[in-house]
Amino acid sequence: MSNFVDIQVTCPDEATAIAIAEACVSQQLVACANIGAQMKSLYRWNGAIERDAEIRLMLKTRANLFEKVAALVRGLHPYETPAIFALPVSHIDPAYGAWIEAETVAPQDEYRPRRARFARLVQAGPATIKLSTISVSDAHVDEDAVNIAAAFLGLQGAMIAATDHRNAGFAVLHHGEEAWWLLLHWWLEGGIATQKLWRADLASGGAFAPADPLLMACVWELSVIDFERRAWMRTAMAGRPVSVYLDDKFPEGTA
């Protein structure tokens, strides 16, 4: 799946479609607007069956601009409840995708809570890892993705064994807007946490590969890291068994 959508809007007439199209393109919320021919629509409204002539408007843009486009359309559309929905683009010519990106504004950083929860314990050589997930979508990360991440983490045992580890750590599998991110931290003596970060392309479903070493974590992942820091302090660093730390899991909710 690509990072682009074709937003569909039905309008009562060509003038409305043109006004919405011009506003979306001029504000760089969409790269291209197509206005179709008049069509007949039949629908139920307030208990009655209505029949109208309508115009289809198609807007090509980035998937993460949908909410901004929808808000603009609602403000310009005469209908009380206009039809606004996005069709995901499964494949796109790279050059055309690059053109859409160049002609639309990148969304400004805006914090919105993301679904997060503890998923499972994973054994990585000598260390037991608490795996939590974060998802940009309305649904939690699915089990297939968790299984892939757990299997990958299981392969990191030799790396952990070569360190002065405390037999425990935590990981975060994050379904982001453009990629899968997998963070692994395990605890060393002295309250020190290690860090490894991998990335997998969201569109192609490729394998995890090391991420840019300058990257650490995003604001959502930092919420899990902060929880694990506090959990380690109140358990292992308070003289309690590591098993108590492993039982202290990130609560289901948002990050």
Instruction: Give pTM, 2 decimals.
Output: 0.62
Q: What is the pLDDT of residues 98-151, one digit of tens each?
A: 999 999 987 666 678 999 999 999 999 999 999 999 998 888 999 999 999 999
Report all structural domains of the chain as residue ranges with CATH numbers, in order of start. 4-103 (3.30.70.120), 115-254 (no CATH)
State the helix-helix crossing angle for 14-26 and 66-76, rounded to 10 degrees. Answer: 140
Instruction: State the DSSP H helix or E strand holding residue 166, giving kind and residue range, or none if neither.
Output: strand 165-175
Identify the pLDDT of residue 205.
67
Q: Is-contact 132 118, C-beta < 8 A? A: yes
240, two tokens = 């309690």
Identify the pLDDT of residue 2.
78
Identify the pLDDT of residue 206.
75
CA–CA gap between residue 91 and residue 80 (Å, rounded): 34
**Residue ranges, the chain, pLDDT below 70:** 1, 107-110, 203-205
